[in-house]
Structure 1
Amino acid sequence: MSADDAYEPDPRRWRALSVCLAVGFMTLLDVSIVNVALPSVRDALGASEAALQWVVSGYALAFGLVLVGAGRLGDAFGRRDVLIAGIGVFALGSLLAGTAQDGTWLVVARLVQGVGGGIVNPQVSGLIQQLFRGAERGRAFGRLGTTIGISTAVGPLLGGVILAVAGPEQGWRWVFLVNLPVAVLAVVLALRYLDPPGRRERAADLDAVGAVLLGVGVVGVLWPTVSRAWAPGDLALAAAGVVALVGFVAWEHRVTARGRTPMVQPSLFRRPGFTPGALLALTYFSGFTAIFFVLALFLQNGAGYSPLEAGAAITPFALGSAVSSAVGGRLVGSRGRHVVVAGLVLVLVGVTATDVLLAVRGVSPGIAWWIAPPLLVAGVGSGLVIAPNQTVTLSQVPVEQAGAAGGVLQTGQRLGAATGIAVVGSLYFAGAAGGDAGVGAAHGLRATVALVAVALAIGVADLVRSARRARTGADRPAS
């Protein structure tokens, strides 16, 4: 009997979901909350431009690095215990970041934070798969989408509030230290509302070789974009990363052929909608996360906004996402990938209009009011992308593979975020090098538009394939 056949609704499932979403919010908030603190970090620690990018990209890189392995651990040993372990690692990284004495210290702390966040998040999506079925699952993922959208978009505003209250000299430290009481409360609530693990797999059954190959591959491929060096040594490391990823795929097939459990089941990628959904997530997050990085820098360095004002200026995106994520979670059950495609069109329109308005209005003090409507449109679109895409992509994944599958999907999101911030950030700094932040913002936003357009093409192609499968009666889950 499958896990789906044995499903009995947990009466505490909505409270358990609230705990998971609170933890997810805390870890995802740290993707963007640090953006408005970067000028203060630079002044307080004398951090270089490269270090500042590592503070942002290093978090996303470490986050994405451990997602698949952490998801597999949750599947094997129980998602509650792995979730609590991840919270502990994240809290440790937050403490180290809040007490950093130089740029290198802060970068290392952010890597630790990223590892903790990467351990936590596949447990959240796995627990949703485990606790909910049918229409309830769509609504639960809708709440997760709201959490993802709001946490990323509202980060600059909350960061600005903290800096305004605590002051720019020490306020950036509290951007990290504020996580500590939240982490303690989250552990207490997780122990109360999440069930302890039942059957555990043997540690010897875990795919350690696959974990190493995947880790080497991810780090190797992303290193040049994060380091921004593109020196011969960096390119050699990228080539080694590609070789490691090819080796990972071959190894997973070998493990499966031997009748053992791989880190990622190869059949996962044959399930309808999973591969295009993962690719769509990767490309969309490459542009989505970079929007806030570019605008936070432009508004502060170009328009002369304070961190709080810059954060408030980006808030319309969060508001739009908050409303539409819940709506998307209800619509996705009947409309599927169509909801995602409609959302991508709105994001494309909103970001393009923002770029046009920045070009027309320049760095005028009232620029925030001009870009608020298109950012609201983009936020509405984003809410229709993230949660519905996650629901559709994971809809035919069995519960016993939910953690690893969620890890694969979120790896695409996090690696896309790391790559997008590195590439789009480089374009921003290159454009602003002459002293005009508006040129930098234009370069960054147009790169974002291109990335969202690629995600839209992937979504449309999947709709066409789904329609073809429906006509031929071939839309069946892979075994």
Structure 2
Amino acid sequence: MAVTTDGRASRAVLRVCLATGFVTLLDSAILTVAAPALRSELGATTAQLQWILAGYSLTFGLALVPAGRLGDRLGRGRPLAVGLALFAAGSLVGATASDADVLVAARLLQGVGAGTANPQVIGLLQDHYAGPARARALGAYASTGAFAMVLSPLVGGGILSGLGPAAGWRVAVGLAAPLGLAVAVVALRVLRRGSTRAGGLTPRGAPGRDGGAGDGRAAGRPAGEGLSASRARGGRVGGGFDAVGLVLVTLVTLGLLVPFVAEGPRAVVLPLSLGVLVAAVGALVVWEPRYARRGRTPVLAPALLRSPTYVLGCVVAAFSFGAALGYSAVLMLFLQDGAGLSPVQAGLVTTPGAIASVVAANLSWRLFRRFGRRGVTVAVGAKALVAAGTALAVAVAPTSTVVAVLVLSQVLTGVVGGLTISPNQTLTLEGAPGTERGVAGAALQLVQRVAATVCIAAMTGTFVGRTDGAVPGVLDAHRDGLVVVSAAVAALALVAWAASLLDERLARPAAR
């Protein structure tokens, strides 16, 4: 079918990207709301609950790099559709799970699917848009994700309250199956369409061969096959992906994760985990530079590790992202198991904070333009203060006011979080060497997902461990767990603040 030069193809691609982001983020947040119900209905142990909540982030992060390479070589369309199909399959398996172990496996599969689809979305937006048009497309993608985060607690809570915990958690977990399959089918149709337009691919918003605005399409090439895929056909791109490096990163993650989820004797688990962690880090330090010297693209490019701005920005992103996801999971457990709120009521507690985050994120570019890294440092420091204040307030507030305190805390956290994420990401990626910009984004996401995996497991394990045996619905019996987790969030935010402050100070001599 001939596609005219009015940009319809690029708009269709954008709609597929937005739908993909919406479905994956909606599902992830809904599961957090459903966690107390599925834990009770399946009789999940603490370790199983940790894997259900954290396993998704683990496989999501590990799938990013090979999936990105696959998209570079085959074009974006097929990997995107396959990723969505895997995501939907995991949702279906999870919804019909007969025990907690099956649900763990389903969440791991969903993580692989989402991690396969995500790089294709980012690649498509980069391939089909340039300049101001790309900024608008990325902004639309971020806004769609934010909308999903606002909507998901209400959708999940409504399903659970309407159907009850026994059927509700299954419907909530399975909701992504039809949605994911529908988007996969549309993606295959849209991203297989060819164009009769002559010439090479011109991203929408960039000058075309005739001097007009490009629309992101190329003659005779599927719409889903962008610049990266074209380069792959023309020659070697990065020399494959770093399988050994990926295995070593997995071992590092497991070395950090296992102490929080293993149910064996700690005298055995801790030394074994520490040994695996040290050996994997050592091997990674040796392997990655050697792999790079062969002309290949490693998972963690040595050039990135030599950039203080990039490394410190990754620390800020990892600690902030991990703390946010870990605390979100614990908060839902506290509100439902501790405060005795219904799923809908628990969702209403977190919704104002999600809305505040969206508003702040839309204003964050002003903070970035005026203050740069200094603005990020102040916002992250404010987040540490909010978390510390939350811990103190929850510890001493009268029982009747704790939920109100948490609503206010969520709003303040949403504001400072929204002001932090995009500016820090921009500054971090700007700190990457020009030759490594392509892998810098994937490495940043990988680091964030590793941090999220560990933080979710550690925080949920801490909360459940401190509230085991507490009477459900008795808030005071659950306070201690939330106070400890809030204090941990404050500590993580303090580390992120120190990293941002250090980057700010290191940048001053260079600016003179």
Q: TM-score, normalised by structure 2?
A: 0.81
Q: 1:430 to 1:184 in 2, by over 3 A?
A: closer
Q: Is the Cα–Cα contact under 8 Å of residues 160 and 310 in structure 1 kept in the other structure? A: yes
Aligned equivalent of 1:62 = 59
The corresponding residue for 1:302 is: 338
Aligned to 1:94: 91
What is the aligned partner in structure 1 of residue 357 from structure 2? 321
The 3 A distance-change label for structure 1 pair 245 and 135 is farther
Q: Which residue in 2 is equivalent to 1:161? A: 158
Deviations 1:292-342 (CA, angstroms, capped at 9, x unpaired): 122211111221101111111111110011111122246535543334224
Matched, 1:372 2:407: yes
Instruction: Note the C-alpha offset of 1:236.
Output: 1.8
Contact (CA 8 Å) 2:60, 2:449: kept in 1 or not? yes
Larger radius of gyration: 2
CA distance in 1, matches of 2:381, 2:150: 19
1:70 CA drift (Å): 2.7
CA distance in 1, matches of 2:461, 2:17: 34
Provide the identity percentage.
Answer: 39
- Among residues 289, 295, 303, which one is paired with 1:259 in the alignment? 295
Question: Residue 262 of structure 1: SS of its match in structure 2?
Answer: coil
Q: Match for 2:403: what amino acid?
A: A
- Correspondent of 1:215 among 250, 265, 269: 250
1:211/1:443 Cα in 2 relative to 1: closer, same or farther (>3 Å)? closer
Q: What residue in structure 1 maps to residue 421 of structure 2?
A: 386
Structure 2 alignment gaps of length 5 or more? 1-5, 192-222, 471-476
The alpha carbon displacement at 1:373 in A equals 2.6
Residue in structure 1 matching 2:395, options 359, 362, 375: 359
Counterpart of 2:198? none
Corresponding residue number in structure 1 for 2:372: 336
> Using the alignment, how far apart are the partners of 1:286 and 1:124 within structure 2?
22
Q: Is the 8 A contact 1:58 1:110 kept in 2?
A: yes
Alignment partner, residue 292 of structure 1: 328
Q: Which amino acid aligns with 1:37?
A: A
- What is the rounded CA distance, in whole Å, between the counterparts of 1:71 and 1:249 in structure 2? 23
2:15 and 2:370 map into 1 onto residues whose CA distance is: 25
1:281 lines up with 2:317 in the alignment: yes
Partner SS for 2:231: coil
Structure 2 equivalent of residue 475 of structure 1: none
* Higher alpha-carbon deviation: 332-341 or 313-322: 332-341
| Structure 2 counterpart of 1:247 | 283
Larger relative CO (CA 8 A, sep 6+): 1 or 2? 1
Q: Select the residue among 30, 33, 36 that pairs with 1:33.
A: 30
- The residue number in structure 2 matching 1:421 is 456
Aligned partner of 2:216 in structure 1 is none
Give the match's secondary structure for 1:199: helix
**TM-score, normalized by length of structure 1?**
0.86
- Per the alignment, in what secondary structure is the counterpart of residue 232 of structure 2? coil
Kindly tell me the number of residue pairs found equivalent between the two proteins.
Answer: 463
The CA distance in 2 between the partners of 1:144 and 1:208, in whole Å, is 30
Alignment of 1:36-55 (within 5 A): 36-55=33-52
Q: Deviations over 1:418-475 (max 9, x none)?
A: 211222223322432463101111111111111111111111111111222212xxxx
Question: Given the superposition, is the C-alpha separation of residues 336 and 87 from structure 1 closer, same or farther in structure 2, using an over 3 Å criterion?
Answer: farther
Q: 1:198 aligns with which of 230, 239, 250?
A: 230
Unpaired segments ≥5 residues, structure 1: 1-8, 472-479
Q: SS in structure 2 opposite 1:47?
A: coil
Deviation at 1:103, TM superposition (A): 1.0
Q: How far, CA to CA, are the matches of 1:167 and 1:296 in structure 2?
A: 17
Between 20-29 and 200-209, the greater mean CA deviation after superposition: 200-209
